Each structure stands twice: as structure tokens, then as C-alpha cells.
Amino acid sequence: MTAETKPNKRPTSFDVAKRAGVSRATVSHVLNGQGSRFPEQTQQKVLKAAAELQYKPSPAGRALVTGRSDILVVLIPNATFGTNLQDLVDSVSAQAARHGLSVVVRFAGRDAAETLAAILHFRPVAVVDIGVLSPEDRETLEATGAVAIPRYRQSREPEGDLNFLVGRAMADELLRDGPRRLAFAALVDERQDPFGPPRYAGMKAAVRARGLPTPERLDIPLKLAGAKAALEAFAAQGTPMGIGCYNDDVAIAVLAAGRALGLKTPGDLSVVGVDATEVGQLVSPRLTTVLMQDDALMEQIAADLAELHQKEATQQVHDPRPMVRIIQGETT
């Protein structure tokens, strides 16, 4: 045994220094690439020693001195965790790993303040936020030195908001074959949901632009009885009607309710979902749904992530207009 003196204890920079025959300061400099034009000789010694010891710097020690952890928080709206967001998490995780960051997934709770507090507690390097945080929250966050990603939020005009476009696309599709009475079917879930309102707004805008009456908002639970009751009230006002749904699951609930009420689809009741989930394409009738191509968002996130370490202020990502696409099914 040469230096394996301390059993079952993670090696510290001191151990590496000892083994390489240098000081801890040197170890730190070499390992951080930073400010180091040490002789090739020395660098190798340090690197070798670190590798042999499987040295991993202590996150706690580092956090203590930098005032910041190596954590990247991904904040997810609680209500919606489908394939889409899972892909986003995977993608972010891969990128973060390249920067040596740890990804922490956090579901937004009912209490926004509590959620924010929990995040701040991590002292994260950055927070990927898909619409959960309010502008004030973001400010609070950035005041602590954390970066809020994507940098430029659903800014400017509503047309820049992907979810607004989703709502508009739903309305357009539902009105394709002539005017109908429209409604937006929101998700009834105790947890908060940031996506519903802009989608509803998009529908309203599109409908108003055609001079039709404002669509109302329906709360559709994911249970047959409740969904049926909710739809029945709306159906009582006459057919044909069209319902833009919060997502494919809600759309499936609306269809089930429609069947139970004896409504014909798409004759009496046409329906559009959102997300193009696999299940939506497997049920009968196959859903017409809106596919969000949030390439712009993903690119922006990737760019912001990349910018995290190389301080060069990245130019704003080219803005390939957020796009939505209708997947034609059998429900419109």
C-alpha cells in the first residue's frame, strides 16, 4: 500500500496534492484549467494523481466558496408530465452533464412561494423554467445570481407565445367547415397550470376575429360522470359544437362524454386535443390534435445552457417563430 492510508473516505484535494508532490493550490489550479501555465510536467503529475485516486471535488466545499451549488433545476408544471417534457428533461440533463452540473427536477407545487423557496434553497446555477415562474419570481431568482432559462420569456405580443398559437390553431381547425359554438375544455386538477390560460386566450382571439361569440370555458374532469355533466350543460345550448381541449387526455374525456350523450363526432361534436400523444392516435376515433414544435424554445434553452460557462454573451438565438401543426384525426 502506498497512500491508501485512510480507508473508506473520499480523497480530498490534499490527498491529490500529497500524491503529486505539490500543494493544494496547485491541484486546484490545474484541475480547474484556469490560470495555469504550469509546466507540462506538473500538470501531468496532478492529473495522474487525481485520476488514480478517483478524486472528485466535494460539492459542499466548492459550494461554500463559490456561494453557489453545481445544481441546475428544471421546474416542471405539476399538472402535465408527458413524453414532451420528459424529452426536455433528458435533453437538458445531457447538456448539463457536459457542463459538470447536476440536474434536479422539481415539480411546481400548489404554493408558488414555497416552490420558489425550495428552489432558492439549492442555490442553483440556473433554473430552466417552462412557464411556472412569474416575472417577479424570476427577478428574485436572478437577484441570487441564478440564471433563469430560457432567458427571454414569452415576451412581446401574444403571437410569440406558443400556447397562444395552439389555441388559435384549435379554433381554426374547429371552424374549418363552418361556424360552430366553441368552448375551451380546461383541465380540472388541483395543481396549477400555466398553459391553459394562453391557449384559451388564443382560441378567443381567433374566434373573435371571425366575429363569432366568445367561446366559454368548460371544466372537464377526467371521469366520465363529471365530464358528461359538464358537457351536457354546454350541449343543451344546441349543436353543432366544437371543443378545444387542454390536452389529449381531456379530449378523450370530452369524446367519452359525447358518446355517453349520444352526440355524433365530428357531426355534432368536434374535438381537438393538444400534444399529439401516442394514446391519442390509438383511440377510436383517432384524435385531431395540435403538435407543438417548440424548436425555438429548445434551441433557446440549449443556447442559454451553453452560455452558462463560456461567459461570451451569446447572441440571441435566431427566432424561428414558434410553430404549431395540426395532426388530422377523425374528430374534426
Which residues sit at the interface with DNA, rule CB under 7 A? Answer: 9-10, 12-14, 21-29, 31-32, 34, 37-39, 41-42, 55-58, 60-62, 64-67
Cell of 185: 375544455
Q: Which does 34 bind (CB under 5 to 8 A by kind): a second copy, DNA, none?
A: DNA
- Identify which of residues 26 and 331 has a Cβ nearer to DNA in the complex: 26
**Residue of 33, 34, 60, 315 interacting with a second copy (CB under 8 A):** 60
Residue 323's Cβ-side half-sphere holds a number of Cα atoms within 13 Å equal to: 9
Rounded-to-integer distance, Cα 196 and Cα 246, Å:
6
Cβ–Cβ under 8 Å, residues 220 and 257: yes
Q: Is 202 exposed, middle or buried (0-12, 13-18, 19+ CB in 10 A)?
A: buried
Distance, in Å, from the CA atom of 116 to the CA atom of 124, rounded to the nearest integer, reads 12
102 makes contact with a second copy (CB under 8 A): yes
Question: Of residues 6, 51, 61, 213, which one binds a second copy by CB under 8 A?
Answer: 61
Choosing from 36, 42, 93, 265, the residue that interacts with a second copy (CB under 8 A) is 93
37 binds, among a second copy, DNA, none (CB under 5 to 8 A by kind): DNA
Q: State the nearest-atom distance from the C-beta of 17 to a second copy, in Å.
A: 19
Give the E-state strand segments of the chain in sequence order: 71-76, 102-107, 126-129, 147-149, 181-187, 216-220, 241-245, 269-274, 288-293, 323-327
Which of 6, 48, 56, 264 touches a second copy by CB under 8 A? 56
Residue 311 within binding range of a second copy, rule CB under 8 A? no
Compute how many other C-beta atoms are within 10 angstroms of the C-beta atom of residue 209. 11
Residue 152 partner contact from DNA, a second copy, none using kind-dependent CB cut-offs of 5 to 8 Å: none
Contacts of 223 (CB under 8 A, 6+ apart): 253
Cα separation of 286 and 276, whole Å?
Answer: 11
CB under 5 to 8 A by kind: which of DNA, a second copy, none does 187 bind?
A: none
| Count of CB atoms situated within 10 Å of the CB of 74 | 23
Least Å distance between CB 252 and a second copy? 5
- The residue ranges that bind a second copy (CB under 8 A) are 8, 56, 58-61, 63-64, 69, 78, 81, 86, 89-90, 93, 102, 104-107, 109, 118, 121-123, 143, 222-224, 227, 249, 252-253, 255-256, 259, 278-279, 281-284
